[in-house]
Amino acid sequence: MGKPKVVLGVSGGIAAYKACELLRRFTESGHDVRVVPTASALHFVGATTWSALSGNPVATEVWDDVHEVPHVRIGQHADLVVVAPATADVLAKAAHGLADDLLTNTLLTARCPVVFAPAMHTEMWEHPATQENVATLRRRGTVVLEPAVGRLTGVDTGKGRLPDPVEIFEACRRVLARGVAKPDLAGRHVVVSAGGTREPLDPVRFLGNRSSGKQGYALARTAAARGARVTLVAANTGLPDPAGVDVVEVGTAVQLREAVLKAAGDADAVVMAAAVADFRPATYASGKIKKKDDQEPEPVVLVRNPDILAEISADRARPGQVVVGFAAETDDVLANGRRKLERKGCDLLVVNEVGERRTFGSEENEAVVLGADGSETPVPYGPKEALADTVWDLVVPRLA
């Protein structure tokens, strides 16, 4: 088998220089990359750079090397087309099937998976025209990554920044590995919670748990690679934002509930992978609790936190919404899991055995996914992404 063939489309945004790093990632990991910049992109990074870094010829128009019919052949032979950065203009052209240069022709002839990594000013991204174009592309099965939030071209900041090239590369690797031209979560919105909540006692202390957030992040990444629009509600993870995912940061269980309920309003599926504290301190001391000589500390009184999984399962924001819970058990794992599934009323429950050295913080996981229909899907010990993909495999047929 030859090297996987990747077309890297580069359009005319200030982030074009970051595509050089993406290109290097592809070539260094054994991909044959054909860079197709737009004429505007060459104002930012010249053809010499693209040609030297890719080892392939570079053209922007359909009129070069016409005997090779490049406007058809490049797309036809690609295993993946990724456009990074994708301008508002190129998204509009792709959504409407325009074909006035080599890149837009390639997009029409490609039958392989296509990934767009948009980058533009917040106003351009939020404009209804752009949003409708993105929705059209997603509905057709194109993966459109959400832009990141941060510093934009000038001094301004906001949503519209190109995701980290390393993260774009990882998303593309996943899309290539699945190899399906129309991803099964295309046009869907999914909400994933990740991490562990922290319940403050005073400004410096909290009750927390050992969840790293890695399983939830794996769920978010894999959903994005399967074409979903993803909202990741992240509690105290410290992990880098996955490319193409909307990240909402929260601290406590109450904040996590608010963020999940808000995002779940139009979601097709909600996956609650976060470890949410069952209890929180009844009172919060606004100043640091002091140690007093010859006096025992006050006992910490706890109150119950809201049961978010039970709430969203009982009160689905839209008909047919699929709700998935996670249960970390230390003993009698399956029986406890089955009881929890019934108590919570969710559709699927991922049950894993945890302990000080198991699951928390590690890159691997092992679990059984219980279904409300009585199904039981064991997932052998392996990367958290493999478990994440199994969860989505089980969610997809349950979607309305």
Active site residues: 209
Q: Which residues bind ligand FMN (CB under 6 A)?
A: 11-15, 38, 40-41, 87-90, 119-120, 124, 153
Of the pair 58, 324, the CB lying nearest ligand FMN is at: 58
Backbone angles phi and psi of 49, in degrees to 5 = -65, -45
The C-alpha angle 296, 298, 300, rounded to 5 degrees, equals 135
Backbone angles phi and psi of 5, in degrees to 5 = -95, 120
Of the pair 83, 267, the CB lying nearest ligand FMN is at: 83
Closest approach of ligand FMN to the CB of residue 162, in Å: 8
Closest approach of ligand FMN to the CB of residue 20, in Å: 16
Q: How many CA atoms lie within 13 A of 63 on its CB side?
A: 1
Q: Are 223 and 185 in contact (CB under 8 A)?
A: yes
Closest approach of ligand FMN to the CB of residue 99, in Å: 12
Interatomic CA distance for residues 169 and 115, integer angstroms: 11
Of the pair 87, 197, the CB lying nearest ligand FMN is at: 87
Q: How many CA atoms lie within 13 A of 14 on its CB side?
A: 8
DSSP-based three-state secondary structure for 259: helix
Of the pair 126, 342, the CB lying nearest ligand FMN is at: 126
Task: List Cα–Cα distances, 18 to 39, 85, 168, 231, 317, in angstroms.
Answer: 17, 8, 11, 25, 39
Q: How many CA atoms lie within 13 A of 378 on its CB side?
A: 4
CA nearest 239: which of 224, 249, 252? 249
Owner of token pair 């090239």: 165
Of the pair 127, 205, the CB lying nearest ligand FMN is at: 127
Interatomic CA distance for residues 263 and 245, integer angstroms: 13
Give buried/exposed letters for 241-269 (b at 16+ CB in 10 A, else e): bbbbbbbbebebbbbbbbbbbebbeebbb
Interatomic CA distance for residues 105 and 340, integer angstroms: 53
Closest approach of ligand FMN to the CB of residue 161, in Å: 9
Of the pair 42, 274, the CB lying nearest ligand FMN is at: 42
Of the pair 133, 197, the CB lying nearest ligand FMN is at: 133
Closest approach of ligand FMN to the CB of residue 101, in Å: 7
Interatomic CA distance for residues 367 and 378, integer angstroms: 6
Owner of token pair 């939830």: 216
Interatomic CA distance for residues 244 and 139, integer angstroms: 16
Interatomic CA distance for residues 5 and 8, integer angstroms: 10
